[in-house]
Amino acid sequence: RPVLAARRRPRHRREGLRRRAPTLRSISHENVFAAGDIAGFGGMKVPKSGLYAVRQGPVLAENLRRHVDGRPLRPFRPQRAALYLLATGPDHAIGTRNGIVFSGAWVRRWKDRIDRRFIARFSTP
C-alpha cells in the first residue's frame, strides 16, 4: 500500500481534492506541494482550467526552490477573469470571457494561434 494512500489528508468535502495554501503548499504537510486540478485552495474559488494550472507552474517551481532554501514562499494569485476557448469542430469554436459568449470560425483561428504559440514555447530549435 503506498505511503501517501495510508495517510489521512484533508480534502475539500465537495470536490475531493487536496487542500493547499495560496503558496501551492499542502496545508497539512509542509513538504508537499500541488498544482493544477489535483488540488484546491482553502476558501478561494479557482476554476478547473488548464490556464490556471499553467500559470501555477512558475510559482510552484519558485516555491520549491524557496522551500529548499528556507526562504518565504510566494503566493499564487489567479487572474480575476479568464478567456475560455473550446474547439467544437475543425473550423469552429466557442469562447467566453467576462460573461460574453462568442463563436465562429474566427474564434477557432484565434484558439489555434494561441495554442500554437503556447506549444512553440516548448519546442527545440
Residue with cell 494561441: 114
Which parts of 28-74 are beta strand (E)? 39-41
pTM for this predicted structure? 0.66
Overall average pLDDT of the 95-120 stretch: 94
Give 20-79 pLDDT, tens digit per residue.
Answer: 788 888 888 888 998 887 777 666 677 777 778 888 899 999 999 999 999 999 998 888
- Residue pair 50/66 in contact by the 8 Å Cβ criterion: no
Residue indicated by cell numbers 518565504: 72
Q: What angle do CA 77, 120, 24 make, to 5 degrees?
A: 25
pLDDT-wise least confident of 1-10, 95-104, 106-115: 1-10
Q: What is the pLDDT of residue 7?
A: 52
